[in-house]
Amino acid sequence: MRWGLVRHLSSLQLKPAGPLQPTTTVNDHRETILLYRALLRQCTYLPDSAARKYMWIHVVDRFHAYYTKVKIPDGRTVVRKNKAVDEKKLSGALKDARKSLKYIQRANDGHINNLRTVLDMTYGRVGKRRRQLIFKLQAPDPLMDDASVAKLSAQISQEPRRKRVPELTDELSALLKSQIKQPSTRFDRAPLRELAPKVPAVNIWQRKFPEKRKVNFIKAWYARTLDRLMPPLEAAEWERLQGLAAGDIRWDGPVPQRKLGTVRSGNPCHSFNRVALRDLPHRLTTSTERIVEKEKHPEINSRPHQLTPRFMRRLWSNIFQKCPRLDWDNKMKKWDLTWGDVEKEAALAIDPHKKLLLGVFDGVDDEGHIRPDSVDPIPCSVNYQGPQPVK
Mean pLDDT, 10 residues at a time, over the chain (391 residues)? 50 44 56 90 95 95 78 70 72 89 93 94 95 87 59 60 75 94 90 91 90 90 94 95 93 84 54 47 49 56 83 95 93 91 62 56 73 59 54 55
**Residue 34 CB coordination number (10 Å):** 13
Largest Cα separation within the chain, whole Å, is: 127
pLDDT of amino acid 279: 46
The rounded distance, in Å, linking the Cα atoms of 60 and 97 is 12
Q: How far apart are the first and last CA of the chain?
A: 118
Contact present, 97 and 39 (Cβ < 8 Å): yes
The DSSP letter of residue 241 is H
Which residues lie below 8 Å from residue 67, measured CB to CB, with a gap of 6+? Answer: 32, 79, 80, 81, 82
Contact present, 130 and 322 (Cβ < 8 Å): no
Phi, psi of 78 (to 5 degrees): -120, 165
Alpha carbon 2 to its chain's center: 61
- Which residue blocks in the chain are alpha helix, DSSP H? 2-11, 26-43, 49-64, 87-109, 112-122, 127-138, 146-158, 170-181, 211-228, 235-246, 287-296, 309-320
Enter the pTM of the model: 0.69
Q: State which amino acid sits at residue 196.
A: A
The DSSP letter of residue 378 is P
Which residues lie below 8 Å from residue 144, measured CB to CB, with a gap of 6+? Answer: 152
pLDDT of amino acid 22: 44
Contact present, 116 and 318 (Cβ < 8 Å): yes
pLDDT of amino acid 9: 43
* CA neighbours closer than 13 Å in the CB half-sphere of residue 111: 17
pLDDT of amino acid 158: 57
Phi, psi of 244 (to 5 degrees): -70, -40
The conformational region for residue 353 under phi > 0 = left, psi -120 to 50 = alpha, else beta, is alpha
Residue 221 CB burial class (10 angstroms; 0-12, 13-18, ≥19): middle
The rounded distance, in Å, linking the Cα atoms of 134 and 124 is 9
pLDDT of amino acid 268: 54
Q: Which residue in 321, 323, 128 sits closest to 229, CA to CA?
A: 323
